[in-house]
Structure 1
């Protein structure tokens, strides 16, 4: 402990004259130790043996003799923390921009389209039927709408509809791109026949794709944990610290006419900090506009600015979707095992899916959510 305070005393004097960098934690500790006016006056008047003072008092005694010591230390703290704080903000901004792009992922838009079609069929003949859009909050209610068995939810039904077309789409793309066909020996000539004959296989293939949507929207989940106002406040705080350091350099330090290492370091740093904070301010403004445009894309012009709530909603939906996919997969496996035990495994797709029976009002032979024009 003694050696720590001794080195702190020496380092404090050195840094205030030479501008040497010290750890951020150490600089913060020194600032918290700043004496009151009364305490400072007592230290200045003390003429005895400094070794008789407490260790903290010895440090303060050394510092108060240096002109603007605590302003120097605050400037040094800004110098030592800017790179770390700016890097963190840059990373958050990159995640935010990526998240806005991920929300237009083909598969996510396909999910929204399937929900819209299903909702319109359920509300056919009512004032809610024929809708051409809905707010994403509605997705959170999909698990509340249950089928005839009281267990199967509307989200299960929507997942079931999507995975069929996704499985077929993936199989077609595989053959068109020359990748391995879904089944050994499957050729283009009998592809369409195969797609119809083994719907169970393609449902499993599609289920794997839909289950992976959460990974595709990884930045959305990251941004959901951020605070929009906190990001802007952090940028503003960096700018504020820069202005204080700049004022200190141009007023107090200029009056001293000091040609020290600290003065030169601060002067050089401020030029760098000016460029960095200007960039962060522009990025903050640009990305706020991007978020607003993204919100309008999904909710229209009447939606108020509510931070990153859109990303929070989608994150929660992804949790629900992942759970629903696992349950649909378990249901499909159970149905397949039951079919095989009954000796009807030649054409598992010929049997009515149990989940279809839960929502007869939305069954439609023309239902197909694969016609989305948006791709990624």
Structure 2
């Protein structure tokens, strides 16, 4: 079995924590200073101060309720170009260059809520719980802005709240709360674990991503940075890394998205990741379904994801930071190839233009259907 990814665990909510020191820890984990050992991911110790354990448990329960809803009820909420709604099995193809079929998962994307009410169709089974969903989504966005403020402090951005202000919750943006359900391999007879993955290799589209997972559920893997043109190596990412097993809740996994990497000229790095069937390296025995830390991929897998994006009209021009300006891009050209970024040269985009470019590549059928209808 491959060795688990060595990802740092940081407590950003300790009452005695010094903001400047926490910012320094975050940036050391995410900047391109030791690419061979950095993954663009961190764990945040989940003390319950930012998002309560009860909120997370309730969101997972609502996810189970949503995905067990009648098919016709979910189809009524089918995903649209605004990136909101339900996506069924194989609807999304995160790695179209290598995947035989689309992802083996269902998803439901929640956009903004207005007065604790959804602004999109949702299944009847969760309509009574809109206020709870709205509160959880708001808590996720607030935690992201807290992290973004720390980035501003650590990078010496002027003003320090440059990033957090660009992600003000009242502004229209591509930010999405996503529920994901991966059926057990026994319920996906068309899957070929030696060829297929539950979710294709990809890097995230936005600024930062929060990922909540359940103990014992394996599958997430990070692409290790190769030192030579050797075959890709995948490192499993345990739900509970050593030292957190007794915590009230699993730590929250946080990663940088392509937008923030692009925005900072590659100083902050995004990383390719996937969800596998076996929870093991693609070059190892694919019949194995248990990871070294006793997590299993034989059961259904649920995850909650918050994708944080800047306001739609935010220009992704130079960040007002001397550290960003003086960074020469390092191995940015190589990194673009590895992370499948669809742009090879620097150009100013708005946050919404960046998102639409990425969505078109992932939802082939949705956009192809629209193109055919225009002809």
TM-score, normalisation: structure 1? 0.19
Larger Rg: 1
Query: TM-score, length-normalised on structure 2?
Result: 0.19
